[in-house]
Amino acid sequence: MTKKILVLPGDGIGPEIVAEALKVLNRLIATGLDVELEHGLVGGAAYDAEGHPLPPKTLEQARAADAILLGAVGGPQYESLDRPLRPEQGLLGLRAGLNLFSNLRPAILYPQLAEASTLKREVVSGLDIMIVRELTGGIYFGQPRGVRTLENGEKEGFNTLVYRESEIERIGRSAFEIARKRNKRVCSVDKANVLEVTELWRQVMIRVGKDYPDVELSHMYVDNAAMQLVRAPKQFDVMVTTNMFGDILSDAAAMLTGSIGMLPSASLDAAGKGMYEPIHGSAPDIAGRGVANPLATILSVAMMLRYSLGLTEQADRIEAAVGAVLDQGLRTADIAAQGQASVGTAEMGDAVVAALG
Ligand code: IPM
Ligand code: MG
């Protein structure tokens, strides 16, 4: 049966980079890929058109789709809106509404880009980490939350970091399953020395780990993990962690690879349905200038084919095409070495399409 993909370009550079990913998808469709594309609104774009960052129609479209391709959301013009109307709520609402609890964020260094990393070549060459971030729980969703006024008139802000055993267990299983297909090592990142909830996290990980005796489980406090990521990142295979720690550590891991503009992500539910997006944001500072790197979004299409549509060969084809354009020396500004000429968003997309053959 024809699979349905919902395309949500969003804001900032979102529409530009998604346009390039669509060139790639359309090329695959022309050569036999059996998918149907539908378009929808999310984030600031949806707020502008419909007055809400996640209109009911978008959520319906997302529920009906087999997979979702998202660009990015957010922009300075929306920062003064009430929190429930801000673009980020569109993204968080999709994650929660579709139960996309397992967020896979690979940090892979393309050998061609070793010089683009701010770290020494020997520290990062061959880097291949998978960060598994819990995505629908923890402090980003916990209740109660808000800002209240105390008796003395002072304001107090508060959020709640809460995890149930079942939530920890299912993200743990995701991580162990993925590790089985890789180097069979999971490092669970917590702050068990201070936070009760992550002490529970650690206990549950140990319990779940018993079902995966072939996978080595280790534990690390998040502050140390941040340090180890920039000191000796190749010690990691799979890292599994909470929503907020994963948000932070995945940005740090991305930079090890030279540019956050290179990294795709998958957010999966229990059945493998997923939303795919670059891990970078909407980059309003460069939006509309045609200079953004479309490769993270193009690689997100590859992840979609691999994880939600089971089309490994087509996924390999896209990843090989990205490797080929890097071999040709094509670089967008974010991955160009100092003094090296760079290409624009569309030129990079066209080159990937050409390399697909
Ligand atoms: C990410 C982003 C989002 C998050 C924002 C835009 C809500 O930073 O996907 O990492 O915090 O999850
Ligand atoms: Mg983030």
In terms of residues, how long is the chain?
A: 357
Which pLDDT tens digit goes with each residue over 270-297?
A: 999 999 999 999 999 999 999 999 999 9
Enter the pTM of the model: 0.94
Q: Distance from first CA to last CA of the chain, Å, rounded? A: 26
Instruction: Tell me how far apart the alpha carbons of residues 305 and 287 are, in angstroms, rounded to a whole number.
Output: 27
247 CA to centre of ligand 1 in angstroms: 7
Ligand nearest, relative to CA of residue 133: 1
Q: Looking at the predicted structure, is the pLDDT value of residue 50 above 90?
A: yes
Q: Which of 247, 276, 307, 334 is catalytic?
A: 247
What pLDDT is recorded for position 35?
96
Contact 304, 266 (CB under 8 A): yes
Instruction: Tell me how far apart the alpha carbons of residues 178 and 186 are, in angstroms, rounded to a whole number.
Output: 9
At position 269, the amino acid (one-letter code) is D
Q: Looking at the predicted structure, is the pLDDT value of residue 1 above 90?
A: no
Q: Looking at the predicted structure, is the pLDDT value of residue 19 above 90?
A: yes
Residues at CB less than 6 angstroms from ligand 1: 74, 88, 91-92, 247, 279, 281
What pLDDT is recorded for position 258?
84
Minimum CA distance residue for ligand 1 atom 9: 279
Q: Which of 11, 66, 78, 191 is catalytic?
A: 191
| Tokens of residue 237, six digits | 């295979």
Which residue has better confidence, 299 or 117? 299
pLDDT band per the 50, 70, 90 thresholds, residue 338: confident
Percent of all residues in the chain with a pLDDT value above 70, rounded to a whole number: 100
Ligand nearest, relative to CA of residue 42: 1
Taking the CA of residue 95 as reference, the ligand 1 atom at the shortest distance is: 12
Minimum CA distance residue for ligand 1 atom 12: 247
For this structure, is 234 an active site residue? no
Ligand nearest, relative to CA of residue 43: 1
pLDDT band per the 50, 70, 90 thresholds, residue 222: very high
Closest CA to 281 of 130, 49, 76: 76
Half-sphere exposure of 289 (CA within 13 A, CB side): 12
Kindly list the domain boundaries of the chain, sorted by start residue.
Answer: 1-101+269-357, 106-137+163-259
Taking the CA of residue 140 as reference, the ligand 1 atom at the shortest distance is: 11
Instruction: Tell me how far apart the alpha carbons of residues 301 and 314 are, in angstroms, rounded to a whole number.
Output: 10
Ligand nearest, relative to CA of residue 265: 1
What pLDDT is recorded for position 97?
97
Q: Which residues pair with 265 in a beta bridge?
A: 277
Q: For residue 246, with 0-12 CB atoms within 10 Å meaning exposed, 13-18 middle and 19 or more buried, which class applies? A: buried
Taking the CA of residue 277 as reference, the ligand 1 atom at the shortest distance is: 9
What pLDDT is recorded for position 116?
84
Backbone angle region of 329, left / alpha / beta, with phi > 0 → left and psi within -120 to 50 → alpha: left
pLDDT band per the 50, 70, 90 thresholds, residue 337: confident
For this structure, is 110 an active site residue? no
What pLDDT is recorded for position 357?
83
Architecture in CATH for domain 1-101+269-357: 3-Layer(aba) Sandwich (3.40)
| Tokens of residue 6, six digits | 């919902």
135 CA to centre of ligand 1 in angstroms: 10
H or E stretch at 1: none
**Which alpha helices (DSSP H) does the chain contain, by range?**
14-30, 44-50, 56-64, 87-97, 121-124, 165-180, 196-209, 222-231, 243-256, 295-307, 312-327, 345-356
Same fold, 1-101+269-357 and 106-137+163-259: yes
Which pLDDT tens digit goes with each residue over 131-158?
A: 999 999 999 999 999 999 999 999 999 9
Minimum CA distance residue for ligand 1 atom 4: 247
Instruction: Tell me how far apart the alpha carbons of residues 16 and 293 are, in angstroms, rounded to a whole number.
Output: 9
| Tokens of residue 342, six digits | 């760079």
pLDDT band per the 50, 70, 90 thresholds, residue 53: very high
Q: Looking at the predicted structure, is the pLDDT value of residue 115 above 90?
A: no
226 CA to centre of ligand 2 in angstroms: 15
Can you spell out the DSSP letters for 305-353? HHHTS--HHHHHHHHHHHHHHHHTT---GGGPPTT-----HHHHHHHHH
| Tokens of residue 298, six digits | 């193009």
Poorest-pLDDT segment among 100-109, 178-187, 192-201, 331-340: 331-340
Interval 68-86 mean pLDDT: 97
Q: Which of 23, 184, 234, 251 is catalytic?
A: 251
Which pLDDT tens digit goes with each residue over 163-205?
A: 999 999 999 999 999 999 999 999 999 999 999 999 999 999 9
- The average confidence (pLDDT) of the chain is 96
Contact 268, 61 (CB under 8 A): no
Tell me which CATH homologous superfamily contains domain 106-137+163-259: Isopropylmalate Dehydrogenase (3.40.718.10)
Interval 7-14 mean pLDDT: 98
Closest CA to 163 of 266, 246, 62: 246
For this structure, is 191 an active site residue? yes
Buried b (16+ CB within 10 A) or exposed e, 253-268: bbbbbbbbbbbbbbbb
140 CA to centre of ligand 1 in angstroms: 10
- Mutating to test ligand 1, I would choose from 8, 70, 91, 245 the residue with most ligand atoms within 8 A of its C-beta, which is 91
Taking the CA of residue 243 as reference, the ligand 1 atom at the shortest distance is: 12
Q: Looking at the predicted structure, is the pLDDT value of residue 126 above 90?
A: yes
Q: Tokens 């280790």 correspond to what residue? A: 218
For this structure, is 251 an active site residue? yes
